Chains A and B, each alone.
Chain A
Amino acid sequence: MKKFVYTTCEMCTGRCPLMVEVLDGEVKHIWGNPHVQGGQQCCPRGAAAKALLSDNERPQHPLIRDGERGSGKWRQASWDEAYDYIADRLKTAKEKYGAKSILLSDRGGPMTEFERTFLAAIGSPNYFNHHATCSNSVHNAHMSIAGHARNSVDYDYENCKYMVLFGRNIYESIKTTEAKTVMDMQEAGGKMVCVDVRWNYTAAKSDKFFIIRPGTDYALTLALIHQIIKDNLYDPDFVNRWVLGFDEIKRFTIPYTPEWAEKETGIPAKEIIRIAHEAGEAKPAVIFHPGWMTSWFSNDYYLRRAIYTLNALMGSYETKGGIYINKKPGEVGLKYRTLIGQIPKVKEERFDGVGTKFPHLSDQWGLAQMLPHAILNEDPYPIKAYIVMRHDPLASLPDPDLMKKAFAKLDLLVSIDINYSETGWFSDVILPESTFLERTDHVYVRSGSGLTPHLTLIRQAVKPRFDTKGRGEIFKALADRMGVGQFFPYNSPEELVAWQLEGSGYTIESFDATGVIEPSKEQIWYDRKDGIKFNTPSGKIELISSMLEKHNIPSFIPYESPPKPAEGSFRLVTSKVAVHTQGRTTANIGILNELYSENHLWMNTEEARKLGISDGDTVEVSVEGYAKKIGAKLTDHIHPEVVFMLHGFGDTVPLRTKSFGKGVSDIRLQRGLLKTAVGGNCPLTECVVAVKKTAA
């Protein structure tokens, strides 16, 4: 018998709406949800979730370490034994050092309530997620300038007439609906300008492509602001009504002319002027895309603030073809309960310095890069236990060896995952989570649904193949043992959903037909004259941020030219391809692995020739004595100061036989970059590597 189950994809953090075709109790095919995205399109990673399900090289039952940490020696345990093991150690940590000695991190996003509720219920403030190596700088920049999280706004690509991408690889680091809609925009005549340090498939599809000198995007944005103001290309009504600090930014950008920026960026002044004018003509249906994975440089915060400034000048906010604020379910009369909403926020001092050492940064996503410092120095206090929920610090943050040294000091390290993560391999306990096809989670507001707010969820399509459990059951069981089970008022996912929707007029069956509860298809747009909600102290877009000024942090900083790497040295830049995400979910899936099983080092042809390197040669890439061999791939279309490799390779877990040992790990080369830049990001592209030819 065939049936369709509507759910949410969890192969990457894009979380696209899916329709799972189930035949006689087995997954037959995974499609996009046509009721939400207007078609069954689904990217290769989502489609390959069927192969994830049938993969036997993932944890199949709870495991407790049976040897040194990281030795790979495990014993199979029952769930009760594993829960008791964890709860006993958590209780000891809490009694001796307080609940704040317990940390928890995940990958962020809308499906994080179980773990955040658990942590808050036991009394720890120390939730954080992976964004230190992803979008912290753009998130914090937007918080400071508009009072909005990076993802509490979205983009109306469909109606956009002109979009500028700064390193946002929209056609390779893909979200299905985003890629499809941007393609629709291009087909309808919308123009796309791509600025990147290297050519990629997004560049190949753009109307204009500029290779920019690495680290100079800020110079480009300053020159664009300069030109837009100089030639009166901005939206005066929007700026007068909603923007504070226009005169200051005008004065500040006077010296930053396109001619000056040409020398810094390598992009001709006339092209910079052209972008300013083309955007000015297309406004307000213009998007200067602020980026997504933005852990680039120490000054990245100011680049992102400048990009948002460009959008503010264009009047792009809350207009067709621009940036819109995501509307909330309450605005269409949709009421639902959340688990986390039942618990007051824990107000104790955080481990990562957010709110103390870093008063201007958001605690929403925290600072994962502070882990080793906090654990090793007990600063600001001792840390004893760490629960890693579908997050892999040892595979995603720089300096994994330092991280391991810190983890060795913990009394408890738990990994909850569908895969053997590198952190999991170093843990005391691995709790195997059911894949998103095998479990039901809580109801949440779908991000990207901001014009017509709607609820959705991850919903079980098939029974678990192995002795795995859903996160809702795992955290409830741990909460029960910690004496805070009352915050998990359910005995099954169905009971939880019923509790969440109580009094709303909807039930879990309301999701059956389309996968969403969407009271109205009518788009909500706030009034551009009086109705836009910017959550800054002034209620406006603050180019001069009152919050930053209060903390004596400048709202803009002068541009500093980045140093050119020495001869034979290059900046290491990374990105993704469509078939792989952050490596851990997709790398070991056979049908994806066969398309990309290892990464290569992209180099500028001319620079490579100077070093005697030909296409396909083996090269040694090294930093401070740490060296790895990798195949070279030469291209004319990469900046001479840059080398590039895909992120997520160099797997160290032997049980993952398809990805183990394949390719090179970028994070192991990012030595010494476990830093907190002003935007809360690790400055990952400040990594400079030496490259030389070597024997294969």
Chain B
Amino acid sequence: MNQYSSWKYILILLTIGLSLLYVTPNFYGESFAVQVMPVKAGETIDRSTLKLVESSLDKAKIQNIGIAFEDTDIKIKFKEANDQLNAKQVIEKSLGNKFVVALNLISNSPDWLSNLGALPMYLGLDLRGGVHFLMQLDLSKLSEKKNDGFLVNVRKELQKENVKYYDSKVINNYVQLKFKSEDALNQAKNIIRAQGSGRSIFGGKGPAKETEAFNFSQIKSNNEFILKIKNNQYTDEENVNFALKQNLETLHNRVNELGVAEPIIQQQGKDRIVVQLPGVQDTAKAKEIIGRTAILEMRMVDEERSDPATIEKAENGQLPPGTELYYDRSENPLLVKKEVILTGERLEDASPGVDQMTGQSVVYLDLDSVGTNIFKEVTRKNIGKRIALLLIEKNYTEVITAPKIKSEIGGGNVMITGMENAQESTDISLLLRAGSLSVPMEIVEERTVGPSMGKENIARGVNSTMWGFAAIVVLIVAYYMFFGVVSVIGLSVNLLFLTALLSALQATLTLPGLAAIAITIGMAIDANVLINERIRDEIRNGMPPQRSISQGYDKAWGTILDSNITTMIAGLALFMFGSGPIKGFAVVLVLGILTSVYSAIFVSRGIVNYIYGNKRTIKKISIGEIFKVENN
């Protein structure tokens, strides 16, 4: 009755083997590395860059101990910290500012292990040091900005169509207009409605043309006709969404500048962004860069001197006076005048949309009043010429787009045509605003852990786990003798499974997570204790040893299940409602429950069966002293 079929042993050995495989990377340690990534998130690296890196390292005679090339990054490992620092400088010099070169620590585990997905445990910021920021969009500023811009538009359109109104203002989150007649109100409504349908298409995802972008409500009182215009919920959500996407993009670019390896920049909730920078020590600099604004400039393209010969000369360093040479997004050279027409400060908004006349994808720019006047003047004088929009960030300038001026543009609403599709107009408008954050953001949570403290925290967690484990081993073996030894083996296997799972899943391990490992050990012993006590019970009641063992395991099963599921419920709730380190605690707790049930029931029984199962009769099993209750 206490025999396992061989497939069960094979399964046990297989799981243990696999776990050992996934645990190993944790023992290899880390070596110093330099990581090369493209500045723009999502772009890829090609082989030529790799060659450039290799040759520059050769030239500087810096020896590396391994290069890993992927589409998104290149990692070069070094033996010593000194080599790492030198290499960083050399590579930065040879690659220029299209790439981010960051210092990193990379696991030494062999490639075949990494290829299997066997990586060391992923340590949270509290264990490896670093900064965590939670940033929040200022939504009131967003709707203020949107409504103000909208009101200016409405006024202009109504004037154009000669619709009489008086008293127009923004109240809370809607725009209010007053009219003398109902006719005027209805006329205005139609004009606004027509304007709204084209503008609300964001990146192809927005409402269809037929859908209204606004909610209208009207009140009639004392010969006064009041029209209230509000973004519909969908438009509002799109606005927030777009602003958030914009800010994410901007933060990506800025964080890259810090040269942080493996930063995390993610949306959290509806209007928040998490930025995690592992290993960052200079938090002041991090804050400065994340909070900084880059510059957007409009300048004229030097059309008179844009013949191929001049441009070729310019590319070789012979620039015509008063010009500069920049490249656009498809690497085409452009000669641009030094004189700046407008800067990003004058740009209030850039959004993708559809030209209602032609149905083409376009980008709309909204300028402020000063910008509008300047722009009017410039476009009047330069019809037929191109105007370049430059993004200047950390001494790196890129031409985002250079459209041709078709006619004089007044009124501050600039439409840039020539976009291939909705995606491109979305991209361009993102880029136009990537220089500055679309809506101001505030750091609402900051958690910083110094690197030495991170190391200390690891030591603390590991020490508690080790001592706790050792104490339990002594206690359990002394109490349950051989069955105690089996429990301890089960417990060790449990620890092995848990670490393997954490490594394989790459769940973030935090200090509370380490604490959860320790607690899991304490709690996992419960299943073993329940089993051992049940077996003792059966023997106490006069059952023969073989039968006691199988009954003990069987009867304990239901109890183990019940008690673990209730803990599981708690773990899942922690996971759902917890954030950061608490989530880390929950992950370990939930995984720990799973592994402990498996190891206590399945693995430990396997061992017991292996030892006792083949013997026909056993007189006595070693489960510690059993005090017989008489006459119960």
The yes or no verdict on A and B being binding partners is no
Binding site for B on A (CB under 8 A): none
Binding site for A on B (CB under 8 A): none
